[in-house]
Amino acid sequence: MKTKLKFLILLGFVIGFALTSCDSATTRERKARALYEEGVRLREQRLSKEAAECFLQALALVDNDRELVADIKDNLGAMYYKHGLFEDALCLHREAVSEFKLIPDSVGMMTTWRNCGRATKSLELYAYTKHYYDSAFQIATLINDTVMVNDLYLEIGRDYYMEVGNYPKAIECVRRAMQGGLQGNDLDIANMTLGILYYYTNKNDVAKDYLTAALRSDRVGVRMSVYQTLYGIALNEKNLDKAMEYEGLFLENMQLLEKENNLEAMQRLKAEYELKSQKSQMESLNRTKSLKLYLVITLVVIALLVTLMVVRKKASDHKIAVERFKNQVERDQNRIHELVSNMENLIRTNDELRRDHQTLSQKELLMTNKIMSRNKVFATAMSLSEHVTANALNFDLSNDDWADFISLTDLVYDGFSQRLLQLFPKLGQWDVRICCLSKNGFSNQVISILLDTQTDSYYRRKIRIKQMKMELNNDTRSFEEIVNAV
């Protein structure tokens, strides 16, 4: 009997070990690394959506490998940045920096600091942009990475000094980058940046030389910026034929850029795979619970067999104990069924609430658009948001149109302009119009077209409104965040 008992106990431990090792951490880490490497390969081929899918799946699997976690988050942040999800990108890059610090990995920290600088520039958080680029520059100088030093000179000149209006310093930084031996797309971007900077400093002849050199770029965004600047130079020189030619080329490249950057598709992909990630985590928890349940069942079976062996000698003594055990098992099963039923009810209730919330949000959006679409300013802005054409650019908005637009905005957003002027009484008539356009969610590009100004000039105007009219120099929020908070 003792031999049989030892055999059963040993068999139980073997079964339990086999069950718990089916989904080991080592297997998950190996799958995560394979998905990460596939994502890197897809990113090199510029298949950003497929790369993001691999990185998200890898992030859901990895647990303990800090270096792999940091690399995945930094690469995934780069994919989000490419498709305009700047806040999500900055969050991932910051998390990657924290992981690289714990390893520690200087090269990883340097690259991720630079990526943080790019994201904050797109969010117009220029003080943070300078801080992140300086941090990356210190590491690049320390490890003597001349390629990174040149890249950082170019980016800090373009993304910080040019944005804050320090054009001489921006020119100095970009020139130092070019002297360091920039090539390919980086050289094209440097030529474009110098052309814009010299245009801002009224040196049009010098600007045209650099802008012409930048047109050899195969990147649509670079060519679009070049044509926009050449359009401004032609207007300054009163060469209307050239101006119309550059405007046509600008619009042509803008349409190509819109096709390449389908933000809505990327947001849908992000939401879809975040849901998959959550589902994967739930499945992992369920597998763990199942393994524990199997182990418990195995141990219960062993206990029953041992009990049956003992019952042969002491049947009368153990009859009551066996009955009690059966009753306990029945109560446990009933409780398990009850818990499962309650969980299913909670899941159904949660799904119904989520569907009701989505339906209500869609109705509110349709009602808002229906109210606002009566106004000529809103209709013009929506047309420009959907498709920029020569006909769409031929608009004429009167003061009555703008007054009606502000009134409708107040109606939809509960007296928005009055609350805005109570908070910031220094705002002028056009400042209020800009705030109302931003409150309605129109892009910087659309607003700059409505104001008949360049996008860069509109960025600087927002900074002046925030600093001089709103007197929020120390506020780290973006202009859009301040407006939406009113």
* pLDDT tens per residue, range 130-147: 999 999 999 999 999 999
Residue 100 has pLDDT above 60, yes or no: yes
Measure the CA–CA gap between 166 and 160, rounded to whole angstroms: 9
Mapped onto helix, strand or coil, the DSSP state of residue 443 is: coil
333-378 pLDDT tens trace:
877 577 557 667 654 755 664 664 454 445 555 666 677 777 888 9
Within a domain: residue 269?
no
Are 407 and 348 within one domain?
no
Local confidence band at 412 (pLDDT 50, 70, 90 cut-offs): very high
CA distance 40 to 79: 11
CA distance 322 to 310: 11
| H-state helical runs in 394-475 | 399-412, 416-423, 429-439, 444-450, 455-464
Residue 99 in domain: yes
Is 347 in a helix, a strand, or coil? Answer: helix
Of 180, 197, 215, the last residue of a domain is 215
Residue 252, pLDDT > 70, answer yes
- % of the chain at pLDDT higher than 70: 79
**Does 278 reside within a domain?**
no
Query: How open is the CA angle 172-444-448, to the nearest 5 degrees?
Result: 85
Q: Taking residues 234-257, what's their average pLDDT?
A: 89
What DSSP assignment string belongs to 396-416? Answer: ---HHHHHHHHHHHHHHTTSH
CATH number of the domain within which 67 lies: 1.25.40.10
- Which of 215, 247, 263 finishes a domain? 215
Query: Quick one: 390 and 472 in the same domain?
Result: yes
Distance CA 345, CA 367 (A): 33
- Is the predicted pLDDT of residue 74 greater than 90, yes or no? yes
pLDDT value at position 316?
66
In a domain, 135, yes or no: yes
Q: Which amino acid is at 91?
A: C
Say if 160 falls within a structural domain. Answer: yes
∠ CA 426-431-435, rounded to 5°: 115
* Interatomic CA distance for residues 86 and 83, integer angstroms: 8
- Asked whether residue 381 falls in the same domain as residue 364, the answer is no
How far apart are the C-alpha atoms of 442 and 374, rounded to whole Å?
17
> Quick check: helix, strand or coil at residue 262?
coil
105 domain-assigned: yes
Same domain? For 125 and 164 the reply is yes
- 360 and 391, same structural domain? no
Same domain, 362 and 416: no
Domain range for 404 is 376-485
Q: Of 386, 389, 453, 439, nearest to 409 (Cα)?
A: 439
Residue 104 preceded by cis peptide, ω within 30? yes
Residues 82, 191: one domain? yes
Are residues 418 and 345 located together in one domain of the fold? no
Main-chain dihedrals φ then ψ at residue 200, nearest 5 degrees: -65, -30
Helix H, strand E, coil C: the string for 349-395 is HHHHHHHHHHHHHHHHHHHHHHHHCCCHHHHHHHHHHHCCCHHHHCC
The whole-number pLDDT of residue 264 equals 47
Average pLDDT value for the chain: 83
Asked whether 132 and 120 are in contact (CB, 8 A), the reply is yes
Residue 305: is it exposed, middle or buried by C-beta count within 10 angstroms (0-12/13-18/19+)?
A: middle
- Is 75 among the domain residues? yes
| Number of domains the chain is built from | 3
The whole-model pTM stands at 0.51
Residue 244 CA: distances (Å) to CA of 199, 240, 251, 441: 18, 6, 11, 29
Residues 399 and 457 in one domain: yes
The per-residue pLDDT for 357 is: 44
Q: Report whether 417 contacts 436 (CB < 8 A).
A: yes
Residue pointed to by tokens 């109560």: 331
